[in-house]
Structure 1
Amino acid sequence: MTRTGAAAGHVGYFHEAVCYASDEELLAVVLPFLVGGVDSKEPTVVALGPEKADLVRRALPGSCLSGVSFLTGGSMYARPAAAIRAYRELLAGHVADGAGQIRIVGEIPRPSLGATWNWWARYEAAINHAYDEFPLWSLCAYDTRITPSTVLSDVLRTHPRSLHADGRHEPSPTYAAPTSFLSAWPPVAVDPLEEGPPLITLVDPTAAGARHAVRLVDPGLPGDETEELVIAVSEVVTNALRHGLPPVRVRYWAGADRIVVSVTDGGAGPSDPYAGLLPSRDSSTGGLGLWITHQSCNYVAFSRDEAGFTLRLTAGNPY
């Protein structure tokens, strides 16, 4: 099967941003995209939040509804590494069934446009590589009425092109190759809890000791969130002890709705720009452990400074 629409003749992932300022603008872009997919008998998917999904569903011609799959945007975009894993499984299934092109329109949930945008920006950059083996054409929708200007700037840097309500497909003049964007290590704002003294500080702990400390500071989060953080802390501390430089310092903070754990060692951190977002089988770098960690926390942030490399893990509600 050949590819259709703007992606005709393109090999690999055709990744576009849609920055819209009204529901009418969103529909002007999305409806032709979806109808074109259905008419071409291509797998056609919507992964938007409930309100936008209902808007699109109501606006679609009745003859097209059965040809469009609606996924729950919030569950698909719960965590970046999990989203990559789920989408790769979805895409691989469609290709195995003979799809010559898959169309997806998605939208990262509004809370992710705030303090945790850093790891979603990494996601948007990484998928240019992670999905490039598939004949995917996707639209990533951003509502400019609620999206900060700094986020919109990153959107243009992580999307090779944009699609506009008048049908124009424009290359992004600020697009950065994934490895370039991911290697930049932009500074990450600290959690407000970290402005106070940590509840517990451990130096060169065992993995078991680091796990136990999570339970000591737990403010009563749902059990599954605490257990996922325990797994993540164990992986990160083990990585730091094996692959980092001493000392390894682990600090714990807790508020009413979250736990924050930072793990710092004297090394430079992983050299793989996709660390955490894609699995690595290289046991010499701890890449698989970082990938597990990204599946197990509600927010993961990297930073480097004169003290070394720090991984910050958050369970509960990221600030």
Structure 2
Amino acid sequence: MTGFFHETALYGSDDDFLALAVPFLEDGLRAGEPTVVACAERNTALLSGALGRGNSVMYLPGADQYSRPSDAIATYRDLFREHTEAGARQMRVIGEVPHSGVGARWDWWARYEAAANQAFAEFPVWGLCPYDTRTAPADVLADVVRTHPNIAGASGTHQANPGFREGLPCSTSPPDVLEQASPLVELIDPTAGAVREAVGTAIRATRLTEDNAHDVVYAASEIITNGLTHGIAPVRFRLWADDSRVVVAVTDRGSGPSDPLAGLVPTTATRSAGLGLWILHRTCDYVSMGNDADGFTVRVSVGGQTEGRSSGTSGKNRR
């Protein structure tokens, strides 16, 4: 294998999951390939029980590996690079990506699945992403099909996926529940300095930690700079907050970046649109980027717990 083979598989029972995953892993072990499992606790237990002890499978806790999309990409790239430099000619990974059916914010994980095709393209990796049809909603499954070039069948077949489409998935983020109230701050075409000052004043009444307060000010400054530099005026800045969480949204009339890697991998090609967005993805509790009737919006959430706080999802973002 000379590059990333990105494959999905849909299953509807524990037996179906094991029928897909166990042969995939056993074939890797027999071939002496670095073999990785990054699944939720339940499926990790199923696999470890089926495979038994004494094998060289590397188990990564799914909740840690898939805490943020940018973190997941960085961790995998380091792991793949390490094994490639050690002489591995192929690696296998079965990774269980979180989605709204298990309480995660899906839109940024949908972007992750699209970005993986480029982010891991240089590595000889066979990546299998299984999705449980008992928990994954229809919109998630539609994005899964759209973002995976290959699909595995229950009978052990592996084929090109006719539903695969290049580019960004269709999922967009619904407004945060805090946005149901009037914003505490609303500015049109402000300077980054004016935004930092306004945000600093607005968050004084919150119980944010010092680190979270710093993250909010940085995020607000970064996304307004990005909107003013790369967007189309007018650029609208808004901030909402409760006692422990802050949501910032910046909307401009442009279409936003078309690159699925934007914000998910570091780049210095365009500092504010590349490296800055990546830092946001590594520090904020949630980041969304998408288009609607008002234009292109970057939205970030920092602090508190997000369980039940977003329209259209009842789960929480696991940091």
| 1:132 aligned onto 2:117 | no
Residue 312 of structure 1: aligned partner: 299
Measured against aligned partners, the alpha-carbon deviations of 1:133-185 in whole angstroms (never above 9, x if no partner) come to 100001112111111011111111111122233212233221112x3xx1x66
| 1:165 aligned onto 2:150 | no
Alignment partner of 2:248: what SS? strand
Residue 179 of structure 2: aligned partner: 194
The code of the aligned residue for 1:274 comes to: L
- Which deviates further from its counterpart, 282-291 or 192-201? 282-291
**Structure 2: which 5+ runs fail to align?**
311-319
Residue 4 of structure 1: aligned partner: none
Written as runs of structure 1 = structure 2, the 5 A alignment for 1:21-40 is: 21-40=12-31
The whole-number CA distance in structure 1 between the counterparts of 2:120 and 2:188 is: 40
- Which deviates further from its counterpart, 230-239 or 109-118? 109-118
The code of the aligned residue for 1:244 comes to: G
RMSD of equivalent CA atoms: 2.4
Post-superposition shift, 1:221? 4.1
- Which deviates further from its counterpart, 117-126 or 234-243? 234-243
The whole-number CA distance in structure 1 between the counterparts of 2:53 and 2:139 is: 38
Kept after mapping to 2: 8 A contact 1:44/1:102: yes
Residue 42 of structure 1: aligned partner: 33
Post-superposition shift, 1:80? 1.1
Post-superposition shift, 1:22? 1.4
Runs of 4 or more consecutive aligned structure 1 residues displaced over 4 Å after TM superposition? 110-115, 184-187, 212-215
Post-superposition shift, 1:273? 3.9
Residue 5 of structure 1: aligned partner: none
| Alpha carbons of structure 1 residues 222 and 107: separation in structure 2 relative to 1, 3 Å | farther
| 1:278 aligned onto 2:265 | yes
The code of the aligned residue for 2:246 comes to: I
Post-superposition shift, 1:21? 1.2
What TM-score, normalized by structure 1, do the two folds share? 0.86
| Alpha carbons of structure 1 residues 213 and 116: separation in structure 2 relative to 1, 3 Å | farther
Residue 221 of structure 2: aligned partner: 234
The code of the aligned residue for 1:23 comes to: D
Kept after mapping to 2: 8 A contact 1:252/1:260: yes
The whole-number CA distance in structure 2 between the counterparts of 1:255 and 1:164 is: 47
Alignment partner of 2:6: what SS? strand
Alignment partner of 1:91: what SS? helix
The whole-number CA distance in structure 1 between the counterparts of 2:214 and 2:43 is: 33
2:61 to 68, 72, 77: 72
Alignment partner of 1:274: what SS? coil
Kept after mapping to 1: 8 A contact 2:232/2:252: yes
Measured against aligned partners, the alpha-carbon deviations of 1:246-298 in whole angstroms (never above 9, x if no partner) come to 43321111246632110123434334342112223223762221122222222
Alignment partner of 1:62: what SS? coil
The code of the aligned residue for 1:295 comes to: R
Post-superposition shift, 1:308? 3.5
Post-superposition shift, 1:61? 2.8
Kept after mapping to 1: 8 A contact 2:284/2:302: yes
The code of the aligned residue for 2:12 comes to: A
The code of the aligned residue for 1:207 comes to: A
Kept after mapping to 2: 8 A contact 1:45/1:69: yes
The code of the aligned residue for 2:176 comes to: D
The whole-number CA distance in structure 1 between the counterparts of 2:148 and 2:16 is: 19
Post-superposition shift, 1:100? 0.5
**Structure 1: which 5+ runs fail to align?**
1-9
Post-superposition shift, 1:89? 1.1
| Alpha carbons of structure 1 residues 289 and 70: separation in structure 2 relative to 1, 3 Å | same
Residue 205 of structure 1: aligned partner: 190
Kept after mapping to 1: 8 A contact 2:252/2:296: yes
The whole-number CA distance in structure 2 between the counterparts of 1:256 and 1:22 is: 42
Kept after mapping to 2: 8 A contact 1:229/1:296: no
Written as runs of structure 1 = structure 2, the 5 A alignment for 1:73-152 is: 73-111=62-100, 116-152=105-141
Post-superposition shift, 1:232? 2.0
The whole-number CA distance in structure 1 between the counterparts of 2:199 and 2:122 is: 40
Alignment partner of 1:78: what SS? coil
| 1:251 aligned onto 2:242 | no
Post-superposition shift, 1:312? 1.0
| Alpha carbons of structure 1 residues 52 and 176: separation in structure 2 relative to 1, 3 Å | same
The code of the aligned residue for 1:138 comes to: G
Q: Sequence identity, in percent?
A: 46
